[in-house]
Amino acid sequence: MNVIETQGLGKRYGATWALRECTLTVPEGHVTALVGPNGAGKTTLLNLVVGLVDPSAGTVSVLGGRRAGSPAALDGIAFVAQNAPLYTNLSAADLLHETRNLNHHFDQSYAERRLGELGIPLKRRAGQLSGGQQAQLALTLALARRPQLLVLDEPMAMLDPIARSDFMATVISSAKGGGIAVVLSSHVVAELERVANYLVLVSHGSIQVAGALDDVLASHSVLIGPSAEFERVAADLDVVQASSVGHEAHLLVRSDRIVRPAPPRWEVRPVTLEELTLGYLRDSVAALPSGSARGRDTDSPEATR
């Protein structure tokens, strides 16, 4: 089953397209990292997936073909938006009660037990909780609905490192133990690399890379060598991004075009998620020699542009 499937999806606000020509497939059983710069279209994509906005073009379905925003879809999705918005004048107990009344399924005992384990008093107002406690309360409300798909839009933006670590531990435990598919948007790439096994990279309102993380990383490499030989070496490669530090050039390239062994005085090494992400997000067209192609997809059978 695909938990998310889009075809030619687009959203326009006035004359501006926030997202366009988005064709994407996210299979079940994954923790998906959604990465991209501010204004790239990540939040728009998530809002379309959970049915908060209607598309201007194309289609989006969730959980094996349910129309996004339909009652059947909403019943299986839990969403935690940026900054974990809560009614700050209500107590944690009030928020549990309200969430239970607004949903078909809500595991009250699980929610109360989890808040107790976290040391979050049920009688305390949400506005009196720390940022980390508010994020954990919002996550508890979402998980107690027992969703098939958990969508998290920058939920850790305001959290300190310890609170982020605790939050992510809960997400991963729920994904593994409860069979929940997770889509997580975050700028903290190092943390995503530890937990995600699927990648969707968005930039300039469109999908740049999507696929199983191991396949995406395996289909790219970093070449390091003399800057003076940059154009000669790059001419035969599918270069995503190029940079130069002093006399040393760094090329992020599609691995399928590398002829091994590497050219003399050049080193080939695997790429990290951070290098891959920065490579696709930087506007490096001007740095590429004429005739070099800028790769935008992967060799993964599941990958899509």
pLDDT of residue 294: 38
154's CB contacts (< 8 A; 6+ apart) are 43, 82, 83, 185, 186, 187
pLDDT of residue 174: 81
Q: Where in the chain is the domain with CATH 3.40.50.300?
A: 2-214
- pLDDT, tens only, 64-117: 999 999 999 999 999 998 776 789 999 999 999 999 999 988 999 999 999 999
For residue 24, pLDDT over 90 is answered with: yes
Lowest-pLDDT choice from 128-142, 194-208, 256-270: 256-270
- Report residue 291's pLDDT band, with 50, 70 and 90 as the boundaries: very low
- Provide the token pair at 90: 């209500």
> With left for phi above 0 and alpha for psi between -120 and 50, is residue 291 left, alpha or beta?
left
Architecture of domain 2-214: 3-Layer(aba) Sandwich (3.40)
Distance CA 127, CA 134 (A): 8
% of the chain at pLDDT higher than 70: 90
- pLDDT, tens only, 33-54: 999 888 888 999 999 999 999 9
Between 174 and 249, residue with greater pLDDT:
249
**Quick check: 31 and 47 in contact, CB under 8 A?**
no
- Provide the token pair at 114: 């989890």
- Report residue 208's pLDDT band, with 50, 70 and 90 as the boundaries: confident
- SS3 of the chain: helix, strand, coil, percent, to 5: 35, 30, 35
Distance CA 133, CA 135 (A): 5
Q: Where in the chain is the domain with CATH 3.30.70?
A: 219-287
With H, G, I as helix, E, B as strand and everything else as coil, classify residue 100. helix
pLDDT of residue 82: 78
pTM: 0.83
- pLDDT, tens only, 3-22: 999 999 999 999 999 999 99
% of the chain at pLDDT higher than 90: 51
| Closest by Cα among 29, 34, 31 to 1 | 29
Range 291-305 average pLDDT? 36
CATH class of 219-287: alpha beta
pLDDT of residue 204: 83
- pLDDT, tens only, 232-245: 888 878 888 888 87
- Report residue 298's pLDDT band, with 50, 70 and 90 as the boundaries: very low
- Report residue 260's pLDDT band, with 50, 70 and 90 as the boundaries: low
